[in-house]
Amino acid sequence: MSLLVSAQLIVTGVCLALGLQHSFVWLRRTGNTAHLLIAIAALAASANALVEVGMYTASTVGQYAAEIRWSVAFIALFLGALTWFVVAWTGTARRWLAVVATCVLGVVLAVNFVSPFSIVYSEITTLRPVELPWGETVMSAVGTANPWKLLGDVPGLLLVLLVIDACVRLWRRGDRRRAWVVGLTLGAVLPALTVHELLVDLGILEFPYVLSFAFLGVLLVLSFELAGAVVRAGELADEVVEREHRLATLLEEVRLLVIGLDSKGRINFVNPCFSEVSGYDREVVVGRRFADLVPESERQEVEACVRESLSGAAEPLVTRSLLTAGGDTRVIRWTNVALGKSGETRPGILRIGADVTDQIAAEAGRDAAIQELEQFKRQLEDENVFLRQELEVSHGFDEIVGDSDALMYVLHRIEQVAATDTTVLIEGETGVGKELVARAIHQRSPRAGKPFITVNCGALPANLVESELFGHERGAFTGASGLRKGRFELADRGTIFLDEIGDLPLDLQVKILRVVQEGTFERVGSSSTRSIDVRIIAATNRNLDAEVAAGQFREDLFYRLNVYPLTVPALRDRRQDIPLLVHHLVRRLATRIGKAIEEVPGPVIRRLSEYDWPGNVRELENVLERAVILSPGRSLDLPHGFDAAGPTGKRAAESAGDLLTLADAERGHISAALVASGWRIEGDEGAAGKLGLNPSTLRSRMKKHGISRTSVEAAE
């Protein structure tokens, strides 16, 4: 027997042995497709090696053509199995390459069996002996190459591309060993094999083909890797058995309740701790639904939780009640552990629980004890936040200053109403100190130690008034990122001062009326009603009787607020208080500004007392602050131009001659501005903006001078 034939038979035997070995492995592990595919490849390589022996020893052209036809068929089977082995073993995503290669192999097989001399030759004219380098002689065909022969090289090239893609993906996933194995065996051998076969077909290289030997090399390397994987799988199986033993021991000995549920929610395992706590023997509960062991009110919830756990979507920690064999209820905090991999059908879940019944009972008393403390803490925090904001606002006075009869009457009225919870309506022009009067009422009331909350209704944006007064829930409107308490809630058990109450929109007047009548309200975005105990003091510089008649203010709210009306006189109506106010304000302003003003000359006091002060005490304070800043020495000097501001009285009358009085001039100027603005008071085109006055101040001066649209049109 020749050397080449002997080598081919050895290849045949080795490949056959490898094919049988992997077939047996696949029969034991039917889920491992890689072993089945490598077994098919090995058996195909074994058959090809045996057919090649027939080719080398053929005596006729017909025999040679039959042998080469079967050789092509077995090579195609080998390449097809190897292609899908790469897909199964590496997990490459480019399956379309394998599909295309398989389709091409099907065409190759069809052409191979249809052609008279296979896909390799169109015609074989004769056989010729070829002497090998070591002196052995084998038979080779002489004929015309089949044009379809190049199609047979396409599956090999596609397999090379598939191998390259698989190696890249394995490398990126970190499986570098497998990437090296695939790359060095298939990525290196297959291109070399394809090139060598092509060169032999073209006559550039001499016989023989080395396909069988190359196939054997590839199969040996891949079989070694698969065998190693089998060994590692066996080691892992032993490790799994050991771990399962340790886990079983742990579940039996741990002082936690452990139960196992199958895919239908039935109990298939309980540990001794569960039996001890629940009172159920293992034989009694195994096979029952877990939902049968909880109170009826929780069963639907538990069944839904079991379904979610089996899908991997349940919360990892849940607290549920457990009915014991004695009829008692224990509170168990369960941790759900889904068995199986994510994305697969879960075979069951493991529930591990801790009995927290005694802990919850112990905590219940503590929670009840600290709940009230937490409520007080939140209230104090809210009050402190608001009071810190209030401290940033200058209130104008530290105390009420003056000894005029008009002021003494106001103080007497304050003393009368302070000790009660009666609602007070403070009326007066802008700047007379209505807020100071409200504070004096609060400070002399039983609520003096509680919050005093101020709300300027005219200064709040129209779209935020309700939220500011009553608060809002999280998400009540755009920008409401958290819960916020309103001013009424912050003033609970204290006093709320609603300044400029006449500026409130009509829709909010209804809600204010409800608070005044019933002491209840709802936050914006909430449907729950809250009760408060708050004293309401309102203030306005408008004539609310006229506002009610004009339909701008609710009559029922007016009567609720006007229980105890209190009018603060204008500064021009208590001129004897001006000297006291001047000395008090100059002393305080000088200290704040850091100047030493020790004297207020008599002429300065006289000039200040003669002025009408349409802006009342607030205007006086502003003039004095400017005077303190500008005074160069220790004596107060009035700022330049103060006389031009419009002093009245004897001195002004003497200097005025035939000129209009200030009152007439002011009346005419305001009337002209109102006519020019179409009797619009507020807004960009309103008379208040053109005159540089606050709308409230303009209304006050219109009332003072008796200016109305009817009177002006009648005068014209």
pTM above threshold 0.75:
no
* Rounded-to-integer distance, Cα 50 and Cα 94, Å: 34
The dihedrals phi and psi of 513, each to the nearest 5 degrees, come to: -60, -40
**DSSP character for 131?**
E
355-356-357 Cα angle (round to 5):
100
Q: What integer pLDDT is reported at residue 124 of this predicted model?
A: 85
Q: What is the pLDDT of residue 647?
A: 43
Dist. CA 517–CA 504, nearest whole Å: 17
pLDDT in tens, 511-533: 889 988 888 888 888 878 888 89
Write the DSSP assignment of 207-227 as a string of letters. Answer: S---HHHHHHHHHHHHHHHHH
CATH number at residue 652: 1.10.8.60
Quick one: 84 and 198 in the same domain? yes
Output the DSSP codes for 503-558: GS-HHHHHHHHHHHHHSEE--BT----EE---EEEEEESS-HHHHHHTTSS-HHHH
Q: Is residue 307 part of a domain?
A: yes
Last residue of a domain, one of 184, 202, 232: 232
- How is residue 547 written in tokens? 């506002």
The predicted pLDDT at position 247 comes to 60
Domain boundary among 569, 604, 630: 569
Q: Which 3 state secondary structure label does DSSP give 444?
A: coil
Domain's final residue, options 304, 338, 355: 355
Contacts of 501 (CB under 8 A, 6+ apart): 425, 457, 538, 539, 540, 561
195-254: pLDDT as tens digits: 556 555 555 555 555 566 666 667 777 777 776 666 665 555 566 566 666 666 666 666
Residue 627 covered by a domain: yes
Report if residue 383 sits inside a domain: no
- The reply to whether 467 and 519 lie within a common domain is yes
> Do the domain assignments include residue 185?
yes
Give the CATH number, domain containing residue 350: 3.30.450.20
CATH code assigned at 514: 3.40.50.300
The answer to whether residue 369 sits within a structural domain is no
pLDDT at 348 over 60: yes
Number of domains in the chain: 4
Do 542 and 650 fall into the same domain? no
Are 425 and 559 members of one domain?
A: yes
- Residue 122 has φ and ψ, to the nearest 5°, of -80, -30
In this structure, are 30 and 173 located in the same domain?
A: yes
Is the confidence at residue 552, as pLDDT, over 50?
yes
Highest mean pLDDT among 184-188, 387-391, 481-485: 481-485
Are 227 and 263 contained in the same domain? Answer: no
Q: Give the range of the structural domain holding residue 290, as residue numbers without chain letter.
A: 254-355
Question: Can you read off the two tokens belonging to residue 429?
Answer: 């022009």
CATH at 204: 1.20.1070
Same domain, residue pair 550 and 588: no
Residue 577 lies in a domain: no
Question: Residue 80 is encoded by which pair of tokens?
Answer: 């097809």
Residues 561 and 591 in one domain: no
Rounded Cα distance, 314 and 338, in Å: 9
d(CA 629, CA 214): 105
Q: Are residues 301 and 185 in the same domain?
A: no
Rounded to 10 degrees, what is the CA torsion of 266, 271, 275, 277? -110
Q: How far apart are CA 421 and CA 347, in angstroms?
A: 70
Look at residue 380 and tell me if it is in a domain. Answer: no
Whether 650 has a pLDDT exceeding 50, the answer reads: no
Residue with the two structure tokens 């033993």: 245
Same structural domain, 69 and 158:
yes
Are 558 and 592 in a shared domain?
no
β 564-567/121-131 pair status: unpaired
The reply to whether 366 falls in a domain is: no
Distance in angstroms (rounded) separating the CA atoms of residues 188 and 439? 95
Q: Indicate whether 304 and 228 sit together in one domain.
A: no
Give pLDDT tens digits for 437-472. 999 999 999 998 899 999 888 777 766 778 888 888
